[in-house]
Structure 1
């Protein structure tokens, strides 16, 4: 007996329902509302309708000429649009996530005590942010709202237009990025802070944000490589810059941040910190020898990452194949300069740096004091530099300062002091050359040094001890470089950070004074040189000076070492 039409129709409907359920289970990314719209569209195209749609009949109208809605009225809902303040006016230290983190981290039973803890952390962060760094003052940056002109091809400096930035405190978006990273790492168990404090109250992070906002290249000398806390602040600051550009309708070239790491293990660590930012629209790729080259080339073609983590060897191969474009990199992080030195990657890093057009903000982590490492740093950090460190050790504070000890006789001191000055100016009298400082005693024999400098064409700076003697005779129509001179008692009150070259003609000061000069000079450059003239009469300081040179990885003259043994 043949089946009726109703039985056939029921069987077909049952089959269709099974297919729909199977599709719903397989594609979990499609919501129920979207699935219903897709099903209705398929029924409309096939000419079939539901039972209820077949029973209802309505005529086409002017609003619905094709009768797609079947006479159903469209109800207009009143939507209230929130007026969002611009990011430039957001001054946020805490949000709901950070408060919950504080409550979980600070195990306090008393609500009043908990409130006092949150308030104390607020005050601590505000005090740290309101203390304007001296480097920001030197760069003449207004602590309020400042507009920075963008130029070049990419990155923070690489687009035409202007970006407004608020330097009072980190933005709400930056705090949100830090909280997302912290929550994710705490769930994985990879972030265990001894003090159990949130990331956004980090002292290092606040100092880094100040330098990053001031567009200063940063030299970090507290360790060989970056920590999770430091990585979180760097990637969050970069994500905040990208968000600011999006609000200004400025396109961000890819990649924005380039993180150079020495190994695949370090790349995995950095990638784990950047992964929570994916939900905020920040895509990260990792380039290392652990994957095939063809696979990475195809991945780079299909994606446009904002952050790139790479080893120099693999990235150099991709650059040679023209598989990646680094012209728009705005922030370059070189993590672990000593590891790169041991691997012999300085040439590859220099070629990677040269492939970036425009001005790139550079951050270097290094506690390597070898001469080759210093040369590598000088190639990477060519502008004004801010030194950032978590400790106050002599080696960390004196990083990249070359200590030159010249052993000579007493009668050779004066011509040797002039020779050192000529070498500092490259043999030419250049007014724009490095600032030079002589540290002398109070005895009258230094008047001979002043007269000799004047005879060679140098002038004495007005703030020097011997300014009247030095400027008594002027060369006719000759521009002469200014040399500063102070006595030993003025070391504590003189701003030594602006002097790249310091010369000590007589070692009449104590070893504590020598260390004070070494740790305070050349704060804004990696080209600092400290010259000292040493004679047999100064043999008492030979032993302590030898220890400082060895501790800082500097070359110790054989004559000085023999004096220290004797």
Structure 2
């Protein structure tokens, strides 16, 4: 028997005694760095403590920050084996031998962008982004023949951009947290089969999405970390193909300018002068927070509120 679940819901089921993991001898943590990054560490620890011991524990992670190392050392003993897949130059994988800075993955953690992707960073004002996006779609998606992904930061932004583009006559679909599972699957199916070749997405599609023929990625709003940026642009230029990533960068993302410049230089890309004006220093980005939109999630180490059960008579 196998159980596939998110940490919070799985812990709920265990605490409700609806699920017994005491005989679970095989545990897989997929996107382990992302789980910890999103504040699920208390849930993961609670779940692992209820599983059988000894057991086999597998952790899959695109990066190798200190938080993942600590979890592996504690729950994957004794002497866990590390397997590094693919070259660090392609696909944005991390170099596990590099030392992360301040417990955070990123440039100092060995993250590199795919050299097969041409990266263009355009500095602009926030109010210019809507018009800039129209210009970019006319430039890269003219005739709506090429597969293109437009990344937004939050689901409300994605819904707004989708609506604006549809009113302008663009055929687009979207994937974000406010969509039902059925709607998300339908959108991805349309994008995959080519019936709709422009996808509006949040970072829910930044990892694990492998669709052939994506030639352009547009970052409408820069993500909260440069690591997420590398994962976003990695949706194009896959399997030896060439790709293009065009990013709109504003003063709101100023703290990430230095780290982004390192990624561009390491991939042999041009660094625009306007970007260097924001500074070249690399600042720790442990807290995912945007200057305009605020914190992405709580970072006080406390687990999310326990789900409550509603009973209708």
Shorter-chain TM-score: which interval?
0.3 to 0.5
- TM-score of the aligned structures, taking structure 2 as reference length: 0.46
Structure with bigger RCO (C-alpha 8 Å, 6+ apart): 2
Query: Which structure dedicates a bigger proportion of its chain to helix?
Result: 1
Task: Work out which of the two has the higher radius of gyration on C-alpha atoms and give 1 or 2.
Answer: 1
